[in-house]
Chains A and B, each alone.
Chain A
Amino acid sequence: MFRTMKVSAIAIATMSLSAQAFAQAAPTADEIARAKAVLAAASSADKATLAAAKSAEKQRQKQVKAWQAQYGPGPYPDELDAFAATREEKLRSYYRVLYYDGEHNAVLNFQRLGLLAMEMGYYTDAEKAFDGALDRIEAFYGKDKQAQKATDTTRLEVNKDYKGEPYERAMAYYYRGLLYLRKGDYDNARASFKQAEYQDTVSQNETFQSDFGLLTYLQGWASQCAGDKSQAADAFDQAVKMDARLKVPGPNDNVLVLAELGNAPLKANEGQYKEKMVIRQAGGFAENRAIVTIGQGAKLKAWPLNPGASVYTQASTRGGRAIDSILDGKAQTKDALNTAADVTVAASSAASLLANNSGLGMYGQLGGLLFKGASSTVKPAADIRAWDSLPDSVLVGTTAYGVTPAPTVAAKGKKGVRRTAVPVATAGDEVPPASFAWMKDDMPLDLKGTPPMVAKQGKCMIVWGRSRSVGILPPQAPGDNAAIALARKKDQAIWAKDQAFRASLGGGPGLLNSPTSTAR
Chain B
Amino acid sequence: MLNMRYAASAAILSIGLLAAAAPISAKSHSHQAVDLDPDARGVVSGVGIEGQDLGRMADQMVRDLMANPEVSNRAVPPRIILDSSDLRNQSSQRIDKDIITDELRGRLMNAARGKMRFVSREFIAAVEQERALKREGVVDTGTTGLTKATAGADYKLVGKITSLDSRNNDTGMQERLTVISLEMLDLEYGTLVWNGTYKIRRAGADDVVYR
Contacts and interface: CB of A to CB of B under 8 A. Distances in A.
A163 B211 CA distance: 10
B167 A497 contact: no
Interface stretch (B10-18, B100-108, B121-129, B200-208): B200-208
Interface in B129-159: none
A226 interface: yes
Contacts of A150: 209
Contacts of A192: 94
A231 B92 CA distance: 14
B204 A188 contact: no
Interface in B68-99: 88-95, 97
B33 to A, nearest CB: 8
B31 A195 contact: no
A118 interface: no
B169 A204 contact: yes
Given A141-B206, A142-B207, A160-B209, A187 B88 contact: yes
SS of B interface (majority): loop
Contacts of B45: 139-140
Contacts of A492: 25-26, 29
A138 B47 CA distance: 8
A25 B165 CA distance: 86
A139 B211 contact: no
Interface in B186-211: 204-211
A202 B169 CA distance: 6
A497 B31 contact: yes
B94 A496 contact: no
A139 B46 contact: yes
A160 B207 CA distance: 10
A10 interface: no
Interface stretch (A254-262, A307-315, A319-327, A345-353): A319-327
Contacts of B207: 140-144, 147-148, 160
Interface in B49-77: none
A279 B207 CA distance: 22
Contacts of B92: 191, 194-195, 198
Contacts of B31: 496-497, 499-500
A226 B32 contact: no
Interface string B163-189: 001010100100000000000000000
Contact of A201 (B26, B95, B167): B167
B44 interface: yes
A182 interface: no
Contact of B208 (A135, A163, A180, A323): A323
B211 A323 contact: yes
B208 A141 contact: no
Contacts of B167: 198, 201-202
A188 B91 CA distance: 9
A424 B30 CA distance: 60
Indicate the member of A135, A140, A194, A198 with the most B CB atoms within 10 Å. Answer: A140
Contact of B94 (A140, A148, A191): A191
A224 interface: no
Interface string A320-336: 01110010000000000
Contacts of B48: 138
A321 B201 CA distance: 27
Nearest to A504: B33
A1 B163 CA distance: 57
Contacts of A231: 90
Interface in A187-219: 187-188, 190-192, 194-195, 198, 201-204
8 contacts: A143-B207, A187-B97, A188-B89, A188-B94, A190-B89, A191-B91, A202-B211, A228-B88
Which 4 pairs show the lowest CB-CB distances between chains A and B?
A: A500-B31, A194-B92, A187-B89, A493-B29
Given A140-B207, A326-B209, 17 more contacts: A139-B46, A140-B204, A141-B210, A142-B207, A160-B210, A187-B89, A187-B97, A191-B94, A194-B92, A198-B92, A228-B88, A323-B208, A326-B208, A496-B31, A496-B32, A497-B31, A500-B31
Interface of B: 25-26, 29-33, 44-48, 88-95, 97, 165, 167, 169, 172, 204-211
